[in-house]
Amino acid sequence: MSSPSDLLFTDSHEWVRIEGDSATIGITAHAAESLSDLVFLDLPEAGDDVTAGEGFGEIESVKAVSDLKSPVGGEVIEANTDLPDNLGDINSDPYGKGWMIKVKHTGTVDGLMDAAAYDAHVAAEG
Amino acid sequence: MTYVQNTDEDRAEMLAAIGVASVDELMEVIPPDCRFTGDLGVGRGLTEPEITRHMRELADKNIAPDSHPSFLGAGAYRHFCPSLVDNLVARTEFWTAYTPYQPEASQGTLTTIYEFQTLICRLTGMEVANASVYDGATAVIEGVMLSLRSVRKSNRVIASRGLHPDTIAVLKTYLRHIDVELVLIDLVDGATPAEAVAAVGGEGVAAVAVQSPNFHGVIEDVGALSEAAHGLGAKSIVSVDPISLSVMEAPGKLGADVVCGEGTGMGNEPWYGGPGFGFLATLMENVRQMPARIAGETTDHDGNRAVVLTFQTREQHIRRSKATSNICTSQQLMALRATIWASLLGKHGFEELGRVNLSRAHYAADALCKLPGFELAFPGQGFFKEFCLKTPKPAAEINAALLEQHGIIGGFDLGRIDPALDHHWLVAVTDVNDKQEIDALVAAVGAL
């Protein structure tokens, strides 16, 4: 399955949709599938700062607790507050209803992969 | 197999392997003036009957709470413990706290943890408890760390000086290397003023930690202190003597978010300072920040009741450096003693035990305060089983005279904590001190 071509990706399986200075962030279909049954999601609040490459929240499945790493730095302008109560959306619609935060990003966006590179990364991870 | 494995042959073999002729030659690298060449002075070897007698003679020199009347508490208390507790915990199934890497194979151990947690929740008025931590001080600190994780952008902690001095010391140790400010609140008339907590003000306060009854025996206004904590956006952490919950309101009903404490009094003895156990309980909203092990109830694939270790995904062996705590075990045997102890006493027995402590302590305080120069240090404050007296001469002198002249272990000399309080004497009276012992104490103090 190929990833959406309008998104950029981290090697830790987050996606980001850049629209001007707005960046919408979530986790990939591959990540959601690997985590399996999700039980808990902790997101930052609007107004919090996030740093590229550092954690912005955590996601817990029956298997593991994982940090969510931000692909970009900036200020959180909106968090998907409905999502912690509808974790199934992350599995069923990871690039749509499964979005997690919107960030007003500052600085350059770099070190991210396009869809083809990310799919190759997933294939290489096995 | 030989019992002593380090035989002459073993030593010869080891020396040959490293190419030296003797043990003395092996030691030649140590400069001669650093080597001890005299007689160690430990005497000749003793036979088993001789060494047994020698050890008994040494042990008989001990003046201990189980051989002499004792009114020493200050955090470690003796209470009645049915001998059945010793008998049941000696079952071999309980000899290790550890569960296999698939802990669910140990349904018996997990069930005892679950029962312990249920007991702690019922006593404290909380919604979830863990399987125990090392001791009362650790429990308070883990409550503070839990609050720092739960309260967003928090970097300050308020703690009452009424906490046990050891707890404050451990708290300072924990907070020293993380970027968190510790604000200590002085006691006024033996208690923590809620106004002083509220007056700290500002942002980023994670928790307000108090102890009730506090180190001076004073029962704190947990309701007002919890309200002050919530006014700052902080969690209210209350460290309690679990025995006091027999006659006092559960802190959970007074607004506490975390209730914790030292559990030794329940089915364990102070022994030589331990081992004891700490208990830690909180509300479900904080469950994901709860450190250490939690046993949870579920059903197996046949629909039978089963117990699991839940939230293991947040523990150190899985989450490594991101774990909620470096604690991933429990004081299992001590907590089990407490569980068996409580089930043997039952609800009514526990309440009766509490009333006995309360009435004997108050009887002792009344009698001691009739002696010239003795008075309650905080007459306006309530106490449970321990109280602070002002004394006409230094508490250290009173203790020394009681021990030498009467074989009585006196109360705690508060001058050891603060030289300004050298005329303050913390006296603990529990159910193990009968009326005869109390009367003997009063007579002895009166005769000094």
Say whether A65 and B152 touch across the interface (CB within 8 A). Answer: no
Alpha carbon A77 to chain centroid, angstroms: 15
Per-residue pLDDT band for B117 (boundaries 50, 70, 90) equals very high
pLDDT at A71 over 90: yes
pLDDT at B315 over 80: no
Which of the residue ranges A6-10, B280-284, B329-333, B392-396 would you say has the lowest mean pLDDT?
Answer: B329-333
Q: How much is the ipTM here?
A: 0.77
Q: Which of A48, A54, A65, A66 best tests the B interface by mutation, with the highest count of B CBs <10 A?
A: A65
User: Dihedral of the CA atoms A9, A13, A16, A17 (nearest 10)?
Assistant: 80
pLDDT at A72 over 90: yes
Residues of A in contact with B288 (CB under 8 A): 40, 42, 60
Shortest Cα distance, chain B CAs vs residue A34, angstroms: 15
**pLDDT tens profile B365-404:** 999 999 999 999 999 999 999 999 999 999 999 999 999 9
Closest residue in A to B323 (Cα–Cα)? A65
Say whether A64 and B288 touch across the interface (CB within 8 A). Answer: no
For residue A126, tell me if it sits in a domain: no
Say whether B314 and A65 touch across the interface (CB within 8 A). Answer: yes
Per-residue pLDDT band for B64 (boundaries 50, 70, 90) equals confident
And the tokens for B113? 């943890």
For residue A79, tell me if it sits in a domain: yes
Which of the residue ranges A67-81, A107-121, B140-154, B376-390 would you say has the lowest mean pLDDT?
Answer: A107-121
Closest residue in A to B320 (Cα–Cα)? A65
Per-residue pLDDT band for B328 (boundaries 50, 70, 90) equals confident
Among candidates B313, B314, B322 on the partner chain, residue whose Cβ is nearest the Cβ of A63: B313
Contact B192, B214 (CB under 8 A): yes
- Amino acid identity for residue B133 in this structure: V
For residue A68, tell me if it sits in a domain: yes
For residue A31, tell me if it sits in a domain: yes
Gap between the Cα atoms of B353 and B361, Å rounded: 12
Domain count, chain A: 1
Per-residue pLDDT band for B97 (boundaries 50, 70, 90) equals low
**Residue B160, number of CB atoms within 10 A of its CB:** 27
Closest residue in B to A41 (Cα–Cα)? B288
Instruction: Report the CATH number at residue A55.
Output: 2.40.50.100
DSSP per residue, B60-100: TT---TTTS-B---TT-------HHHHHHHTSGGGS-S---
Contact B209, B234 (CB under 8 A): no
Question: Greater confidence, B314 or B432?
Answer: B432
For residue A87, tell me if it sits in a domain: yes
Gap between the Cα atoms of B216 and B193, Å rounded: 14
Gap between the Cα atoms of A69 and B234, Å rounded: 28
For residue A102, tell me if it sits in a domain: yes
Q: What are phi and psi of B140, to 5 degrees?
A: -65, -45
Among candidates B152, B288, B313 on the partner chain, residue whose Cβ is nearest the Cβ of A64: B313
pLDDT of residue B386: 98
Maximum Cα–Cα distance across chain B: 78
Residues of B in contact with A60 (CB under 8 A): 288, 313-314
Looking at the complex, does the CB of residue A54 fall below 8 Å from at least one CB of chain B? no
Closest residue in A to B310 (Cα–Cα)? A62
Residues of A in contact with B318 (CB under 8 A): 64-65
Whether the link from the prior residue into B49 is cis, omega within 30° of 0, is no
Per-residue pLDDT band for A1 (boundaries 50, 70, 90) equals low
Q: What domains lie within chain B, and their CATH numbers?
A: 83-340 (3.40.640.10), 346-447 (3.90.1150.10)
pLDDT at B1 over 70: no
Residues of A in contact with B313 (CB under 8 A): 60-65
In terms of Cα–Cα distance, which of B197, B213, B298, B304 is closest to B251?
B213
Per-residue pLDDT band for B3 (boundaries 50, 70, 90) equals low
Per-residue pLDDT band for B55 (boundaries 50, 70, 90) equals very high
And the tokens for B354? 């509490």
Closest residue in B to A66 (Cα–Cα)? B319
**pLDDT tens profile B161-191:** 999 999 999 999 999 989 999 999 999 999 9
Q: How far is CA B173 from CA B152, B159, B168, B177, B394, in A?
A: 23, 14, 9, 8, 31
**pLDDT tens profile B183-239:** 999 999 999 999 999 999 989 999 999 999 999 999 999 999 999 999 999 999 999
pLDDT of residue B67: 87
Please, what is the average pLDDT of chain A? Answer: 93
Closest residue in A to B313 (Cα–Cα)? A64
Say whether B288 and A40 touch across the interface (CB within 8 A). Answer: yes
Gap between the Cα atoms of A70 and A79, Å rounded: 13
Contact B361, B71 (CB under 8 A): no
Residues of B in contact with A65 (CB under 8 A): 313-314, 318-319, 322
pLDDT at A120 over 90: yes
Q: How far is CA B200 from CA B154, B179, B396, in A?
A: 14, 18, 36
pLDDT at B310 over 90: no
Q: What H or E segment, with its residue span, contains residue A55?
A: strand A55-61
For residue A3, tell me if it sits in a domain: no
Q: How far is CA B286 from CA B150, B181, B235, B281, B323, in A?
A: 7, 22, 10, 10, 15
pLDDT at A109 over 70: yes
For residue A88, tell me if it sits in a domain: yes
Looking at the complex, does the CB of residue B152 fall below 8 Å from at least one CB of chain A? yes
Gap between the Cα atoms of A27 and B85, Å rounded: 53
Per-residue pLDDT band for B37 (boundaries 50, 70, 90) equals confident
Average pLDDT over residues B138-157: 95
The size of the A-B interface in CB pairs under 8 A is 18
Which of A18-22, B105-109, B393-397 has the largest mean confidence?
Answer: B393-397
Q: What H or E segment, with its residue span, contains residue B249?
A: none
Considering the entire predicted model, what is its pTM? 0.87
pLDDT of residue B2: 59
pLDDT of residue B318: 73
Gap between the Cα atoms of A107 and B139, Å rounded: 44
Shortest Cα distance, chain B CAs vs residue A79, angstroms: 15
What percent of chain B is modeled with pLDDT above 70? 98
Shortest Cα distance, chain B CAs vs residue A86, angstroms: 18
**pLDDT tens profile B237-281:** 999 999 999 999 999 999 999 999 999 999 999 887 778 999 999
Domain range for residue A60?
Answer: 8-121
